[in-house]
Amino acid sequence: MKVFLLEDDFALNKIISNSLKNRGFFVDNCFDGYKAVETVMNNSYDFFILDLNVIGFDGHKILEIIREENKQTPVIIMSAQIDMENIKKSYALGCNYYIKKPFDFEELFLRIQYHVQKQNKTDKFLTTLGNSYSFDLLEQTLYYKEQSIDLSVKEKLLMSLLVQNLNSITSIEMIHEYVWDSKEMEAVSMRSLIHKIKKKLKSGMIINFRGEGYKLINHEEY
């Protein structure tokens, strides 16, 4: 899963970022509101973690920008500001949870787990794909008969996106934005990545819709 982190305290930013990376997340971290605006407007994420008091645009403004385009993706606000005015404003603007500093990282991670479960409407993170395959969205791990299959960084991102859009077309634009951060790429690069994933799944599980995108099929539902 791709997480965006805004925290101006360098040490805390690194602790959170490294802890999430060690748990299999892909993290883009910013230290100020100026860079944060540019980053969130040009990339796609599965989760946002925002500090309130940062240089430039504060966490509330970043939250407003996120909610203008994205109503569903979970957002956690973390702040040393514990007054009710800031807490009420954060929820009014659309945050999912307000965590007060200082906090234990495990508390933050439990909140992330809860909202990921809620978003995917499941009691577990393991998504059954059929043909003895499954994918753990939280750990970014593909399994075949409970045996994990090695995936590269981009393969993990692509599988995560396909699983989140299971049985629906994942557009070429979505893949470009999510896997390549909308950066310039050759069309052959995407085809090559899709081909590598197909080789790790049973034939027919990924369907190509020419000019549109790709669909990961859960055969157990058909």
pLDDT at 123 over 60: no
Q: Which of 153, 166, 155, 158 is nearest to 126 (CA)?
A: 166
The whole-angstrom separation of Cα 40 and Cα 66 is: 7
Q: What is the dihedral of CA 29, 32, 34, 40, to 10 degrees?
A: 30
Helix (H, G, I), strand (E, B) or coil at 1: coil
What is residue 124's predicted lDDT score, i.e. its pLDDT?
55
| Measured CA angle at 77 (ends 46, 26), to 5 deg | 30
Average pLDDT of the chain, as a whole number = 89
What is residue 221's predicted lDDT score, i.e. its pLDDT?
56
What is residue 116's predicted lDDT score, i.e. its pLDDT?
75
pLDDT at 121 over 60: no
When pLDDT is averaged across residues 8-21 and rounded to a whole number, the result is 93
Share above pLDDT 90 across residues of the chain, in percent, rounded to a whole number: 62
When pLDDT is averaged across residues 80-109 and rounded to a whole number, the result is 92
Secondary structure string (H, E, C) spanning 169-200? EEEHHHHHHHHHCCCCCCHHHHHHHHHHHHHH
> Are 36 and 14 spatial neighbours (Cβ–Cβ below 8 Å)?
no
Helix (H, G, I), strand (E, B) or coil at 160: helix
For the chain, first and last CA: distance in Å?
Answer: 27
DSSP H helical ranges for 25-104:
33-42, 59-69, 84-93
pTM, full prediction: 0.71
The whole-angstrom separation of Cα 12 and Cα 118 is: 27
183-197 pLDDT per residue, tens = 888 889 999 999 999
When pLDDT is averaged across residues 49-77 and rounded to a whole number, the result is 93
- CATH assignment, 126-221: 1.10.10.10
Taking each continuous run of H as one helix and of E as one strand, the counts in the chain are 8, 12
Provide Rg for the chain, Cα atoms.
18
Place of tokens 């990961």: 216
What is residue 72's predicted lDDT score, i.e. its pLDDT?
85
When pLDDT is averaged across residues 117-143 and rounded to a whole number, the result is 79
The whole-angstrom separation of Cα 192 and Cα 202 is: 17
The whole-angstrom separation of Cα 146 and Cα 222 is: 22
pLDDT at 47 over 50: yes
Tokens of 55: 């240089």
Domain ranges of the chain: 2-120, 126-221
2-120: in CATH 3.40.50.2300 = yes
Check residues 93 and 123 and name the one with the higher pLDDT. Answer: 93
When pLDDT is averaged across residues 121-140 and rounded to a whole number, the result is 79
Give 70-73 contacts, CB < 8 A, sequence gap 24+. 72/119, 73/45, 73/46, 73/47, 73/48, 73/119
User: Do the domains 2-120 and 126-221 sit in the same CATH topology, yes or no?
Assistant: no
